[in-house]
Structure 1
Amino acid sequence: MTTNQLIIKMVLDRWYGALKNCDNHINSLTDEKLMKEIAPGKNRGIYLLGHLIAVHDDMIILLGLGEKLYPELHTPFLADPDKTAAIIPSVSELRKYWTTQCQWLQQQFDSLSPEQWFEKHAAVSAEDFANEPHRNKLNIIITRTTHLSYHTGQLVLLK
């Protein structure tokens, strides 16, 4: 195993571990619990679930893997704060989206070569990437793992 392959494995192992942890917490909560606020006046669990799906959808674009799976989630879960959208998907719909998206992302990640992980992501210019090669696709996974873990910690408060 090359150094790059080892680094990729370490990052992806942490990503999949964080996904599994989040998934376990989501699955341990009833639909009713996911409708509750994390704390008084704060986001609801359903919002956090939709938010994670929307953020991971944006990641598809950043990684150059294609189009978003659920573009309709951008406004109610990224652009707007919780409780402001007139209509959002149900908890059961979001659970299905989450499962589908996690499986789809794993298939896509498995298809990338080690070299592709170290290519620039879509939000960085070629000029900036030449000066900052750490702004690569693998770094997107690192930042999104941190984001996922943060919101998983919030979901724990619903138990």
Structure 2
Amino acid sequence: MTTVTTTVTPKLFVKMVLDRWYASITNCDVLLNSLSDEALQKEISPGRNRGIYLLGHLIAVHDDMLVLMDMGEKLYPELNEPFIKFPDKAVEKLPTVSELRTFWTKQSEAIKQKFENLKPEEWFEKHTAVSAEDFEKEPHRNKLNIVITRTSHLQYHLGQMQLLKNK
């Protein structure tokens, strides 16, 4: 058996994480394209979140990433209140599914552009929610870790939205 030796570098770590992030975004795009606007208005299961809420929630959470990673301001700050501050059905007036689909696409592209502008070593810099003192003690609280946690979050809600395919 041959042993392959790979040099572990920041570039390799970043590639592994971003490959998973982009694959998850693509999986969400495929799912959203397979669901009608009407399907996204339905609850995942009785008494649970609707697809429209989950889509808006993902956009709002990904918007927070821009601030956390010091990449600029939120693109859709108006989504914070209906999709993060309050639970589903607590806010009457929401953007339409069509609007949210457009926001999702534009935001995904904007995030991709910002991600591509970072050098590998910049991914290991602190994010904005950690102080310099705490970062010294906990260097894992970096920008790359934000992408790891948000990828898990996205996958969780993708699993929920898959249930809409049978409705």
| TM-score (structure 1 length as normaliser) | 0.98
2:115 aligned to 109, 119, 129, which one? 109
Deviations 1:89-148 (A, max 9, x none): 000000000000000000000000112100000011101100010100000000000000
Q: Does 1:121 align with 2:127?
A: yes
Question: Following TM superposition, where does structure 1 have runs of at least 4 consecutive aligned residues deviating by more than 4 angstroms?
Answer: none
Aligned mates of 1:70, 1:2 — CA distance in 2: 37
The structure number with the bigger radius of gyration is 2
Cross-structure match for 1:134? 140
1:153 aligned to 149, 155, 159, which one? 159
Deviations 1:20-59 (A, max 9, x none): 1111111100000000000000000000000000000001
Aligned mates of 1:134, 1:43 — CA distance in 2: 32
Aligned mates of 1:6, 1:74 — CA distance in 2: 34
> How many positions carry a matched residue from both structures?
159
Aligned mates of 1:133, 1:95 — CA distance in 2: 36
Aligned mates of 2:121, 2:10 — CA distance in 1: 8
Aligned mates of 2:9, 2:120 — CA distance in 1: 10
Q: Does 1:21 align with 2:27?
A: yes
Gaps of 5+ in 2: 1-6
2:66 aligned to 54, 60, 71, which one? 60
Aligned mates of 2:72, 2:150 — CA distance in 1: 18
% identity of equivalent residues: 65
Cross-structure match for 2:91? 85
> What is the letter of the counterpart of residue 107 of structure 1?
Q
Aligned mates of 1:141, 1:36 — CA distance in 2: 29
Q: Does 1:3 align with 2:9?
A: yes
> What is the letter of the counterpart of residue 20 of structure 2?
R
Aligned mates of 1:141, 1:148 — CA distance in 2: 10
Cross-structure match for 2:4? none
Cross-structure match for 1:12? 18
| 1:86 positional shift | 2.1
| TM-score (structure 2 length as normaliser) | 0.94
Aligned mates of 2:62, 2:14 — CA distance in 1: 18
* Cα RMSD (Å): 0.9
Query: Greater shift after overlay, 89-98 or 2-11?
Result: 2-11
Q: Secondary structure at the match of 1:66?
A: coil
Aligned mates of 2:157, 2:28 — CA distance in 1: 8
Aligned mates of 1:4, 1:64 — CA distance in 2: 19
